[in-house]
Amino acid sequence: MKRFHWAVLLGRASAAGAMHAFVFAVCASAQVGAPPPAASQANALPLSGRSGQSGGAAAASTPVPSTTTSVNTLNPAVSVQGAYSGSAQSTVQMPFSGKLSLAEAIQRGARFNLGAVGLAQAVSQAQGQARAARSALLPNIRGDVADTEETINLRTIGVNFSTPTFTLPAIAGPFNVLDVRARLSQSIADFTSLNNYRAARESARAGELSSRDAQDMVVLAVAGAYLQVFAAEARLDATQAQLETATALYERTRKQLEFGKATQIDVNRSHVEVLLDQQRLVTLKNDLAKQKINLARLTGLPPNADYELSNDIPYAPAPPVKLEDAIQDALGHRADLKAAEVQVRAAERAFDAARAERFPSLSASADYGEIGVPPDLRATYTVSATLNVPIWNGGRTGADIQQAQAAVAQRRAELEDTRSQIESEVRTAYLDLEAAASQVDVAQQNIELMGTTLKQTIQRFEAGVSENTDVVQSQESVAGARLDYIDSVFAHNLAKLSLARAMGNASGRLTQFLSTQQRP
């Protein structure tokens, strides 16, 4: 094409015109046409498919000895770590009335908790990467305009022409060359790019599933924190009632001292019990405020305790779910397990891309435009096809295959571990649920017995049959029994919540597993 253009120009020019045409052709040779595309390369995926996850939430119930009843009771707790412990502000988009229901808390957490927000953005990023990988398979069209003004030393390129009547100057120019051109390139057969796109598409799908699992994690974190606030309020109410009882007994003992029916040591014991309950009350108020601040942080509310819960969450038996059915349900619905399966497929596609580096690839390119010395522009075009046959690239292909094999092996191992982890979570939640249900029943009976014992002890003390020490100890036993019941109900509700999360689709199962009542 270039030689043809030069020949046409030479056919129309004089000797001086021929010199300009030659110089123009030399300059144009650097601008016309497109270079052959470089060989494509497999994209190396991260070794682990869990890199997008940051932090999490977990619930646990551990047995601890009671200080009042010498009975081991469950100590339930919800641990929230990493991004899930924070949130973006939610009150701008969702005005807050000052009363927070469980449903509203979960709704705010699902939209504004930082763990869910981060996974949603990771999905968007993965989708963008998949689109970028797909671009290697689609036509690429671009246009360019090049306007060049230059001079050329013809002696440096071996041009030394002279005749008796004409001597070619050593310096040609300055002259101007304008090139207006559109370029098209298209991959025809490139298995590496094709598998790169497939791997990126599977990674994006895995990100979507991980985002769904993050929503279940947020439900566990937010609902668990809500349960903690509710339990802290119940402990505070129980201690307040205990303080009122201790204060009444103290006043009664003081009156008895005036009539000689009690000693000063009896009054002192009653007074100490009042002071201890006051100290417990201060501690529990502090704990309640902290729990409410924590819940606010999870749901995007201002980080303070200036709000109220609008739901009571009483004890209710768990839905009748058999353990084996729960495990099968979890293996069929857990989004993180599906994400792990898709991550394996993504790694396998990346491995196929690495192996395809050894295959030939075929591409085509074309350009069309006008080039010349303004205003004399001539239409030119180029159409080419390139077959790229890899022969030896210094061992890069073998290295890419080795890395891809490692990623496949790692993600298959993570898939097996995820299955085992899910079964472990279901079994653990099931065991906690059974233990908590049994302890709720025992705690209810214990409260009744301790209450009856306290009444009888007070009657015996008023009758002068027993000492004030028996009354104080009986009061402590009643207080301990009430706290044991509160902890057992909290543990039972938390175990139901953990089972709902372990089985997958926690938000959909929440109303089935947790019973809520609207506060007056």
Kindly give the confidence (pLDDT) of every residue in the chain, 520 residues in length, as a single tens digit, with 9 standing for 90 and above: 333 333 333 333 344 444 454 444 544 444 444 455 556 777 767 666 665 556 788 777 666 555 444 455 667 788 888 889 999 999 999 999 999 999 999 999 999 999 999 889 989 999 999 999 999 999 999 999 999 888 888 888 888 877 878 777 888 878 888 999 999 999 999 999 999 999 999 999 999 999 999 999 999 999 999 999 999 999 999 999 889 988 988 888 888 888 877 788 888 988 998 999 999 999 999 999 999 999 999 999 999 999 999 999 999 999 888 999 999 999 999 999 999 999 999 999 999 999 999 999 999 999 999 998 888 899 999 999 999 999 998 999 999 999 999 999 999 999 999 999 999 999 999 999 999 999 999 999 998 998 898 888 888 877 777 777 788 888 888 888 888 899 899 999 999 999 999 999 998 898 889 888 888 7
172 and 198 belong to one structural domain: no
296 and 208 belong to one structural domain: yes
In a domain, 412, yes or no: yes
Q: What is the pLDDT of residue 284?
A: 94
Residue with the two structure tokens 């074309």: 366
285 and 161 belong to one structural domain: no
In a domain, 40, yes or no: no
Q: What is the pLDDT of residue 201?
A: 95
In a domain, 370, yes or no: no
C-alpha–C-alpha distance, residues 466 and 458, integer Å = 9
Q: What is the pLDDT of residue 292?
A: 96
Q: Which residues, 6 or more positions from 197, have their beta carbon under 8 angstroms from its beta carbon?
A: 130, 133, 134, 136, 137
Residue with the two structure tokens 């472990």: 424
Which residue type is seen at 322? K
265 and 119 belong to one structural domain: yes
In sequence order, what are the beta bridge partners of 343? none
The domain tally of the chain equals 2
Note whether 220 and 78 are within 8 A (CB). yes
CA pseudo-torsion sign 149, 155, 161, 165: positive
Q: What is the pLDDT of residue 230?
A: 94
How confident is the model over 245-256, as pLDDT tens digits?
A: 889 888 888 888
Q: What is the pLDDT of residue 431?
A: 93
257 and 201 belong to one structural domain: yes
Q: For residue 212, what is the domain's CATH number? A: 1.20.1600.10
Residue with the two structure tokens 């056919």: 11
C-alpha–C-alpha distance, residues 152 and 174, integer Å = 8
306 and 421 belong to one structural domain: yes
How confident is the model over 152-179, as pLDDT tens digits?
A: 888 888 888 778 787 778 888 788 889 9
Q: Give the pTM.
A: 0.81
C-alpha–C-alpha distance, residues 53 and 322, integer Å = 31
157 and 261 belong to one structural domain: no
13 and 101 belong to one structural domain: no
CB atoms within 10 A of CB 343: 31
Task: From 157, 378, 164, 26, select the one nearest 18 (Cα to Cα).
Answer: 26
Q: What is the pLDDT of residue 48?
A: 66
Task: From 510, 501, 519, select the one nearest 212 (Cα to Cα).
Answer: 501
In a domain, 65, yes or no: yes
DSSP per residue, 109-145: HHHHBHHHHHHHHHHHHHHHHHHHHHHTTS-EEEEEE
Task: From 267, 272, 265, select the one nearest 243 (Cα to Cα).
Answer: 272
In a domain, 373, yes or no: no
How confident is the model over 291-308, as pLDDT tens digits?
A: 999 999 999 999 999 999
Note whether 371 and 21 are within 8 A (CB). no
C-alpha–C-alpha distance, residues 515 and 497, integer Å = 11
82 and 166 belong to one structural domain: no
Task: Look up the domain containing 129 and give its range.
Answer: 56-133+194-352+397-518
338 and 413 belong to one structural domain: yes
254 and 330 belong to one structural domain: yes
In a domain, 208, yes or no: yes
93 and 162 belong to one structural domain: no
In a domain, 418, yes or no: yes
In a domain, 382, yes or no: no
Among residues 176, 202, 234, the one where a domain terminates is 176
